[in-house]
Amino acid sequence: EVLLRMHSVGICGSDVHYWQQGRIGDFVVKDPMVLGHEASGTVVKVGPGVAHLKPGDRVAIEPGVPREMDEFCKTGRYNLSPTIFFCATPPDDGNLCRYYKHSASYCYKLPDNVTFEEGALIEPLSVGIHACKRAGVTLGSKVFVSGSGPIGLVNVLVAKMMGAAAVVIADLSASRLQKAKEVGADFTIQVKNETPQEVASKVESLLGCMPEITVECTGVQACIQAGIYATRSGGTLVLVGLGPEMVTVPIVNAAVREVDIRGIFRYCNTWPVAIALLASKRINVKPLVTHRFPLEKALEAFETTKRGEGVKVMLKCDPTDHNP
């Protein structure tokens, strides 16, 4: 294990959800819990047997750590391990604090040209990497991204990076769609009161064809329906956003057109990839951060996120650091 002095921690929609509702699905907050799982910091102390890190190293933290080497770990899909410890998922505490202890194998050294803030953004970026890999995005792919929150935006970034020829994104909010344009979306659709079929035909007319890949980031029933209708026969729909437990969807439409529906659960094996992309300047996540608060103003930061202002709200946990 290593002890870290925390630096930057991003606020996620799930943090807000636990704070407001006290649960997400089967994960119920029963005792006081520290929030935060998008984080970076500096190594203060290393435990015995830790060779790859030393005090003073700047690291990005992968929040999900399997507690035992089960068959999921052996096959490289450790995110599916039922034994996983995950920051800020009850009953596990997160890392929105001054000092934090974490498994050394899940702390990744940041190169000098990657900032703490970029290090903290690797967590949401990882969702995009994992989703686009599961979707099979490749050279020339046409992609429809549904939802332009932070996760929709990282999927735009990653899809373009992986060779997508055209990405169309849909959302209710004009300002969020403007942000999607900034990070590389080719087309945007501001949804008002169209039916799922109407949204699907808008996607097709903008792209000039139906997309092979749809990445659904809202979890809203109508959006999942639109995702099925929009995806080309033989294509893939990846469900990233989580909504109600039971959702009514045109499953027969998907089945007879051989549309593969895939789920994702967080990510695995993405931190080294993300660090390489950030260090080589192949991907720019900096535009995602719109607000910054010191740890003392955490409540204000959470209120800002809850109101849906900006994109990513970042908390600064190290009072000695005066860099932006």
How many other CB atoms are found less than 10 A from the CB of residue 279?
A: 14
Residue 12 has pLDDT above 90, yes or no: yes
- Residue 74: how many other CB atoms lie within 10 Å: 10
Of the pLDDT bands very low, low, confident and very high (cuts 50, 70, 90), residue 322 is low
Mean pLDDT of 186-206: 98
Per-residue model confidence as pLDDT tens digits over 287-316 = 999 999 999 999 999 999 999 998 999 999
Phi-psi region of 187 (alpha: psi -120 to 50; beta: other; left: phi over 0): beta
State the span(s) of the chain assigned CATH 3.40.50.720: 129-263
Homologous superfamily (CATH) of 2-109+285-316 is Medium-chain alcohol dehydrogenases, catalytic domain (3.90.180.10)
* pLDDT at residue 324, as a whole number: 46
pLDDT computed for residue 159 by the predictor: 98
Instruction: For residue range 18-54, list pLDDT tens digits in order.
Output: 999 999 988 999 999 999 999 999 999 999 999 999 9
Residue 260 pLDDT exceeds 90: yes
The CA distances from residue 194 to 148, 199, 250, in Å, are 17, 6, 17
pTM listed for this prediction: 0.96
Taking residues 232-249, report their average pLDDT.
96
Identity at 6, one-letter amino acid code:
M
Residue 191 has pLDDT above 80, yes or no: yes
pLDDT tens across 74-115, in order? 999 999 999 999 999 999 999 999 999 999 999 999 999 999
Distance between CA atoms of residues 166 and 144, nearest Å: 9
What is the crossing angle of helices 196-207 and 221-230, to 10°? 40
Task: Output the pLDDT for position 113.
Answer: 97
Q: Is residue 321's pLDDT more than 80?
A: no
Evaluate if residue 198 carries a pLDDT over 90.
yes
CATH 3.90.180.10 residue window(s) in the chain:
2-109+285-316
pLDDT on residue 62: 98
Yes or no: is domain 129-263 CATH 2.10.260.10? Answer: no
**Rounded-to-integer distance, Cα 4 and Cα 98, Å:** 8
